[in-house]
Amino acid sequence: MKIAIAGVAGKMGKMIFAEVIKNSDIEITGGTEAMGSPLLGKDIGEQAGFDKIGVCVVDSAEKAIENADVLVDFTRPNVTLQNLEAAQKHKVNMVIGTTGFTSQEQKIIEDASKNIAIVQATNMSMGVNILLSLVEKIAETLDSSYDIEILEMHHNKKVDAPSGTALSLGKAAAKGRKTTLEKDACYAREGNTGARAQGEIGFATLRGGDVVGDHTVIFAGEGERIEISHKASSRVVFSKGAVKAAKWVASKEDGLYDMQDVLGL
């Protein structure tokens, strides 16, 4: 199987490369960085701190995916959408780990999945995807007298809030309650807010230091509280999931999938 990596010199790009080279059945055929990057033209392996692989960093997905089966993309929404156009043109399936899409941008991804197979997930770790399943089940089991709050913390360079994973957890809770996050979400509280509305799904966002990703879902009832958490101490869990998703989606026909599909959950 042949993989291209968007943003190959970024934190996640390097981690994904390091995971891919552990797999003898996967070949890296391309990697991108932004125009003007000093890494353009450098060997992908060398820039990641490994031996040369004979493939250079290029400035567009169009060039990187010429011989690829799958493009793995953990970049930014505007970059991912540009790469998506190239992937459709060349019939290359995608793994999208980018977060922060608007509803209109998400619609573009959904439309693209009619032409190619896409695995899109806000978090590709096995632990978080098990957490999503548990949150949905707990929300389905408990009645609305249990207040749901979602707390997340990430490093101080993260640009979107709440995190994509936190939003996915909120959607899982809403699905369990047979409602929608659009209807019941509360993203911020300040000043004299009044009593908490029953059925509300609240979010709290923390940013600081080099935290990879912490998520806690709280079900607070009368006289008891259930808290279920996932803490990532390394991005390795995300890169492992991304490579697993790439292997899974390589032979799929068109469609939009997530890590629940990849993991059989």
Which residues participate in catalysis according to the annotation? Answer: 154, 158
- 3-state SS class at 26: coil
Task: Using DSSP bridges, classify how beta strands 224-232 and 213-221 pair: parallel, antiparallel or unpaired.
Answer: antiparallel
Angle 103-112/77-90 helices, nearest 10 degrees?
20
DSSP 82-144: HHHHHHHHHT-EEEE------HHHHHHHHHHTTTSEEEE-S---HHHHHHHHHHHHHHHHS-T
Cβ 203 vs Cβ 148: under 8 Å: no
> Nearest to residue 265, comparing CAs of 118, 134, 116?
134
Task: Give the residue carrying structure tokens 């029953």.
Answer: 198
Task: Using DSSP bridges, classify how beta strands 117-120 and 57-58 pair: parallel, antiparallel or unpaired.
Answer: unpaired
Residues 112/114/117/122 CA torsion (nearest 10 deg)? 50
